[in-house]
Amino acid sequence: MEKGKGIMGSGRRWAVDFSDNSTAPSSRDIPDPPGFTRASVDQDDSTVSRQKKDAESNWKAQKAWEVAQAPFKNLLMMGFMMWMAGNTVHLFSIGITFSALWQPISALQGVGKVFEPYKDNKVDLLGPKLLFIALNLGGLALGVWKLNTLGLLPTHASDWVSSLPPAQEVEYSGGGIPL
């Protein structure tokens, strides 16, 4: 998640605007890269703007897919960490498990936000979103599975009977060695 934000969120550090079609290189501080000629872009305005929009939506769609796939790496990472943590309940394994649970949940809460920058009429965000949600759910499942292997889920009979009071007895008997 952090990564996705780093690339596409508001705090991006640099960007090349490919739709920039101004012909005067002096308008920018940075000189054009070698081999790039602005003169070649000499189509008429409408084509230019349409192409520009197409490119943008393509790019957005591509990025959206990328973002959607990002949790997969996380998942692998998490799996590795969990394997490292082992199956006994201690500080490390508990920490790992809780973060494995917490990350997908917070990611799922922020699904809309994550895909906000790629919102476009032409871009179909449903696919990436579903993938994103599925991967995060996968992460969540992994966390729950880990929780279970740690024995913290009430999935055994023992978890339900541990506080059952003893059954009442019908008969009562007393006595002993005569005084």
Partner 1 sequence: MAIMSFIFAFFFFSSLQPILSLYEDQVGLMDWHQQYIGKVKQAVFHTHKTGRKRVVASTEQNIIATLDLRSGEIFWRHVLGPNDVVDGIDIALGKYVITLSSGGSILRAWNLPDGQMVWESSLHGPKHSKSLLLTTNLIIEKDNSLIVFSNGRLNAVSCIDGEVLWKKDFEEESLEVQQVIQPPGSDFIYVVGFAASSQFETYKINAKNGELLKHESTAFSGRFSGEVSLVSSETVAALDSTGSILLTISFHNGKISSQQTPVSNLLEDSPGLAVIIHSSVTGIFAIKTDAATIFIRVIGEGKLEVVEKTNHETVVSDALSISEGQQAFALVQHAGSNIHLTVKPAHDWDSNLLKESIKMDQQRGFVHKVFINNYIRTDRSHGFRALIVMEDHSLLLLQQGAIVWSREDGLASIIDVTTSELPVEKAGVSVAKVELNLFEWLKGHVLKLKGTLMLATPEDIAAIQYMRLKSSEKSKMTRDHNGFRKLLIALTRAGKLFALHTGDGRIVWSHLLQSLHKSESCRQPIGLNLHQWQVPHHHALDENPSVLVVGRCGPSSDALGVLSLVDSYTGKEFSSLRLVHSVAQVIPLPYTDSTEQRLHLLIDADKHAHLYPKTPEAIDIFQSEFSNVYWYSVDDDNGIIKGYALKTKCSGNVADEFCFDSRELWSIVLPSESEKIITTATRKLNEAVHTQAKLIADQDVMYKYISSNLLFVATVAPKASGEIGSVTPEESWLVVYLIDTVTGRVLHRMTHHGSQGPVQAVLSENWVVYHYFNLRAHRYEMSVIEIYDQSRADNKDVWKLVVGNHNLTSPVSSYSRAEVITKSQSYFFTHSLKAIAVTLTVKGITSKQLLIGTIGDQVLALDKRFLDPRRSVNPTQAEREEGIIPLTDSLPIIPQSYITHSLRVEGLQSIITVAAKLESTTLVFAHGLDLFFTHYAPSRTYDSLTEDFSYALLLITIVALVAAIFVTWILSQRKELQDRWR
Residues that bind partner 1 (CB under 8 A): 88-91, 94-95, 98, 151, 154-179
What does the block give as tokens for 100?
């494995």
For 47, 123, 149, 152, the CA distances from 86, given in Å and listed in that order, are 59, 43, 9, 14
What does the block give as tokens for 54?
């197409």
Specify the amino acid at residue 43. Q
In the complex with partner 1, the residue whose CB is nearer, 33 or 166, is: 166
Q: How far is the CB of 162 from partner 1 (least distance, A)?
A: 6
Q: How far is the CB of 148 from partner 1 (least distance, A)?
A: 10
DSSP 56: H
Q: How far is the CB of 36 from partner 1 (least distance, A)?
A: 44
118 vs 132: CA distance, rounded Å: 14
151 vs 157: CA distance, rounded Å: 12
Q: How far is the CB of 146 from partner 1 (least distance, A)?
A: 15
Q: Is 43 helix (H, G, I), strand (E, B) or coil?
A: coil
In the complex with partner 1, the residue whose CB is nearer, 117 or 139, is: 139
In the complex with partner 1, the residue whose CB is nearer, 121 or 158, is: 158
In the complex with partner 1, the residue whose CB is nearer, 15 or 179, is: 179
